[in-house]
Amino acid sequence: MTCDDDHAASADGDEQLLVLPDALRHELKEPMGPIETDAERLLEAVDGPLIAVGDVVTYHFLQAGRAPDVAVVDERTKRETVDEEIRETVTESTPLEATNPPAALSAEMVETLREALDREEPTTILVDGEEDLVALPAIAAAPEGASVVYGQPDEGMVHVTVTDEHRAEMRALLERFEGDTERFWDLLEQH
């Protein structure tokens, strides 16, 4: 892909690259890993990069003294605006922004996630829209042993320690989404 092609892809970055089919919604309600309610206890099990998806999850890690290597926030929790303290804390340093529609993954979101994963310094992505599905490509793209943590409403934080098996499961799940899966993988896997 040339720089010109890259720019063209970014110009329509809010397009719905992949859309969650209704038939898959029930499968995503099951947690993909153990649920923890204590951020400090969860952090004891983290050995490698930490990727946090969700404002409340990110807030708990910051309060526990550990900035996630990648945090994805949208200033909302359970479809409601987060408390001002949480919003201010998690958006204090947001060097990247992306637009992502509900129940979908946009090209811009995938490109921004890839950029954040490739950075050396902790990076927060502020999503205009919804970040709920970003845990899926994060698991698919994260290195072996990385921790992807996302919120399970009214239950706690789901901790996925990434393995080849998890990545294969995410690949199979994402392949069942509607849309341009070939372009999705091209964007997610470019280095």
The answer to whether 165 is annotated as binding is no
The answer to whether 154 is annotated as binding is yes
The tokens describing 26, both together, are: 């029930």
CA distance 92 to 94: 6
Give the number of other CB atoms < 10 A from CB of residue 137. Answer: 24
The answer to whether 57 is annotated as binding is yes
Per-residue pLDDT tens over the stretch 23-68: 888 888 888 899 999 999 999 999 999 999 998 899 999 999 999 9
* pLDDT higher than 50, residue 11: no
* pLDDT higher than 60, residue 13: no
3-state secondary structure of 116: helix
Residue keyed to tokens 């793209």: 141
The answer to whether 131 is annotated as binding is yes
- Per-residue model confidence (pLDDT) at position 70: 94
Per-residue pLDDT tens over the stretch 95-149: 899 999 989 999 999 999 999 999 989 999 999 988 989 999 999 999 999 999 9
Instruction: Name the phi and psi angles at 149, rounded to 5.
Output: -125, 130
Q: What does DSSP assign to residue 91? A: T
Kindly list the distances between the CA atom of residue 191 and the CA atoms of 116, 119, 171, in Å, as whole numbers in the listed order: 11, 11, 18
